[in-house]
Amino acid sequence: MTFEEQTVFYKELVDKELDRYMSFPDGLKQGKLFEAMKYSLNAGGKRIRPVLALEFCRICGGEYKNALPAACAIEMMHTFSLIHDDLPCMDNDDMRRGRPSCHKAFDEATALLAGDALEMYPFDVLAGSTSCGVSAENALKMVKMLAWASGHMGMIGGQQIDTEFEGQSPGLDELLKMYRLKTSRLLQAAAGMGCLSAGADGDAVGNALEYADRLGLAFQIVDDILDIYGDEKALGKPIGSDKEKNKYTYVTYAGLEGAKEKAKQLTDEALDFLAKFNNSEFLKKLTIELLNRNK
């Protein structure tokens, strides 16, 4: 399969499996909650995190079905974070990927609860990975990794710092620390859980975590660039929102060229860690594509 075919294959695989997880019994009174969960999960995301989980599993010698629970779990967790991030008390964003955000399409209470539900479901899904050939020990390691990456010492911690930085001017080190928590951690969980799904050893998991750490930083810096210099139509949301919210970003410090250079350097570091794996051509292409993306 070519890179493009492989990407489509993974995306369709994950979408189908997510649909299965989102098949709820009819006639339950919380139907609106289910609709809101599905609405946000099917908003046309790039599915980067699931692809990372599936491909790291493959290059660690697993079959893709081993990592399907991890792939779906990480996408649910990512979607939860977007729903709560968009809420009025957070970023107050009305649009997400070219459609009304969850609390606009439904209401605030439903969006809050849909986010809560999509934060919880991943652990149910991961606990079920033993029926996909993952050992109980490794399933439990995935539970621990996902909770760590997403919680108060990870993504949620990063979101707290992000809200406190608003209107302030944190140092560059502080900014990168926040990016690590807010963006790298979930990518790390995706890559790390992919390895664990295949039963890989600690060295492989460690290299995957280092890779995804750099990938996340590069990803966030490219986001910063696109928020100023991107194309609104391609992005599906208005540009300039960081500036409007007085947010200091990497571009504020380093300018466009400095930011591009840093993203390139981080991508190179990511590729170095990738080189420690066999058969990592697909991930290499993906990494470079993420650096050069326009949305």
Q: Is the Cα torsion angle 102, 18, 238, 258 positive or negative in sign?
A: positive
Contacts 24+ apart (CB under 8 A), 253-261: 253/172, 253/175, 254/172, 256/225, 256/228, 256/229, 259/221, 259/224, 259/225, 260/225
- The least CB distance from residue 195 to a copy of itself, in Å, is 17
- The least CB distance from residue 135 to a copy of itself, in Å, is 8
Sites for a copy of itself among residues 101-140 (CB under 8 A): 107-110, 112-113, 115-117, 119-121, 123-124, 126-128, 130, 135-137, 139-140
Q: Which residues pair with 99 in a beta bridge?
A: 96
152 lies in the site for a copy of itself, by CB under 8 A: yes
DSSP state of 106: S
Spatial distance between the Cα atoms of 110 and 101, rounded to a whole number of angstroms: 12
- The least CB distance from residue 53 to a copy of itself, in Å, is 18
Spatial distance between the Cα atoms of 46 and 82, rounded to a whole number of angstroms: 13
143 lies in the site for a copy of itself, by CB under 8 A: yes
Nearer CB in complex with a copy of itself: 202/278: 202
Spatial distance between the Cα atoms of 91 and 82, rounded to a whole number of angstroms: 10
100 lies in the site for a copy of itself, by CB under 8 A: no
- The least CB distance from residue 78 to a copy of itself, in Å, is 14
Q: How buried is 74 (Cβ within 10 angstroms: 0-12 exposed, 13-18 middle, 19+ buried)? A: buried
141 lies in the site for a copy of itself, by CB under 8 A: yes
Choose the stretch contacting a copy of itself; rule: CB under 8 A; options: 174-182, 188-196, 235-243, 266-274. 174-182
163 lies in the site for a copy of itself, by CB under 8 A: yes
89 lies in the site for a copy of itself, by CB under 8 A: yes
Q: Which amino acid is at 262?
A: K
- The least CB distance from residue 72 to a copy of itself, in Å, is 14
Q: Which amino acid is at 137?
A: E
Count other Cβ atoms within 10 Å, centred on residue 43. 19
33 lies in the site for a copy of itself, by CB under 8 A: yes
- The least CB distance from residue 272 to a copy of itself, in Å, is 29
Nearer CB in complex with a copy of itself: 112/254: 112
How many residues touch a copy of itself under the rule CB under 8 A: the total is 56
Specify whether the backbone of 166 is left (phi greater than 0), alpha (psi in -120 to 50) or beta: beta
Is residue 193 a contact partner of residue 142, using CB atoms and an 8 Å limit? yes
Q: Give the residue, chosen from 15, 174, 242, 269, that forms a contact with a copy of itself under the rule CB under 8 A.
A: 174
Q: Give the residue, chosen from 144, 232, 234, 295, that forms a contact with a copy of itself under the rule CB under 8 A.
A: 144
Sites for a copy of itself among residues 6-25 (CB under 8 A): 24
Nearer CB in complex with a copy of itself: 159/267: 159
Q: Which residues pair with 96 in a beta bridge?
A: 99
Count other Cβ atoms within 10 Å, centred on residue 178. 20
30 lies in the site for a copy of itself, by CB under 8 A: yes
Count other Cβ atoms within 10 Å, centred on residue 253. 16
Please report, as ranges, the residues that interact with a copy of itself according to CB under 8 A.
24, 28-30, 32-34, 37, 84, 87, 89-90, 107-110, 112-113, 115-117, 119-121, 123-124, 126-128, 130, 135-137, 139-141, 143-144, 146-148, 150-152, 156-161, 163-164, 174, 177-178, 181
